[in-house]
Amino acid sequence: MLKNLFPGGINVLLLFTGIGGAEVALHRLGIHLKNIVSVEISQTCRTIVQSWLEETNQQGKLIHVPDVYEVTEHTLKKWISEFCSFDVVISGSSCNNLAVGNHVSRDELDG
């Protein structure tokens, strides 16, 4: 349905991107990613997303944001002004109990 609604592609804001499951799914559905703002704290995950975009020859603009606290009213307005809008906003679970960066309480799936 999105492919027909946005034949020229979409602008997407991804919160807690992880390894890019949403990008892969949209790509497999044949939906072109024009502009991607990817919010992900893990450098490893950001590298995986960047590599996937390069390997699949994606032409869209990618903006990496390492910290969700950097997504402010000001930055949102800037991106919306630059892209005209976000067509889709996707948020993954922040997976605190599984995150390697959580040095306090990694209860894994029990958490």
Quick: pLDDT tens for 56-97.
Answer: 888 789 999 999 999 999 999 999 999 999 999 999 876 666
Phi and psi for 9 in degrees, rounded to 5? 105, 180
What are the b/e assignments for 56-89, b being 16+ CB within 10 Å? Answer: eebeeebebbeeeeeeeeeeeeebeeebeebbee
| Total tally of structural domains belonging to the chain | 1
pLDDT > 70: percent of the chain: 84
Give domain status of residue 11, yes or no.
no
97: how many CB neighbours lie within 10 A of its CB?
Answer: 14
**How close are the terminal C-alpha atoms of the chain, in Å?**
36
In a domain, 67, yes or no: yes
Q: Is residue 9 part of a domain?
A: no
The Cα 15–Cα 93 span in angstroms is 9
Which residues span the domain enclosing 61? Answer: 17-91
Q: Is residue 71 part of a domain?
A: yes
Stretch 41-66: mean pLDDT: 91
Per-residue confidence band for 7, with pLDDT thresholds at 50, 70 and 90: confident
Q: Does any domain span residue 59?
A: yes
What span, in angstroms and rounded, lies between the C-alpha atoms of 36 and 23?
9
* Residues contacting 60, CB < 8 A, separation 6+: 9, 32, 33, 34, 35, 36, 53
